[in-house]
Amino acid sequence: MAHIMKCKVCGESFDRDKITCIHVGNRYAHVECAQKAELKGELIEPPQKDPDLIALEEYVMKLFNQTYVSPGIRKQINQYHDEYKFTYKGILQSLIYFFELRGNPIDKANGHIGIVPYIYKEATTYYYNLYLAKIVNNQKNINDYKPKIKHIEITPPKAETKKIKLFNLDE
């Protein structure tokens, strides 16, 4: 799904997921336009980045061993946040839950975070319960609250199929 934005500087419309752009206040602008405007002394409120988004991006980079967040993942994050109304923190918790707590192999993710919608509710519920449990009893070991590991089958991508279903969630 395209995310059409209007550049705050030149007024031209563009797809946020495809064009290099930056946040200017609560709007978007082409990077070049923003730079030009900055040179002219117009604009620019420094982009305010959500600390939860920063934490999520740092985790994603660490997870996939990259120095940047790929456009594909950025698109997924935007979609989950804007359309699914997931929080950045919840997305982060979902990834930690899936890869670290449940021990699913990172290389099977193909450099994407498409698993998030399937586990978001479960993961955030898990962290919520963990939070409650910590309040109730601070003495207990966190590991006592780990869910039983449930194996998720991951089907290998088929070259001939257009739409790859990465995770088999039929169970």
Contact positions vs Zn ion (CB under 5 A)? 7, 9-10, 30, 33
Instruction: Kindly state the smallest distance separating residue 35's Cβ from Zn ion, in Å.
Output: 10
Instruction: Kindly state the smallest distance separating residue 24's Cβ from Zn ion, in Å.
Output: 10
β-bridge partners, 29:
22
Is 106 strand, coil or helix?
Answer: helix
Q: What angle do CA 95, 77, 64 make, to 5 degrees?
A: 50
Q: Which of 82, 140, 91, 89 is nearest to 113 (CA)?
A: 91
Written as one string, the DSSP assignment of 115-130 is: THHHHHHHHHHHHHHH
Instruction: Kindly state the smallest distance separating residue 40's Cβ from Zn ion, in Å.
Output: 13
Instruction: Kindly state the smallest distance separating residue 43's Cβ from Zn ion, in Å.
Output: 11
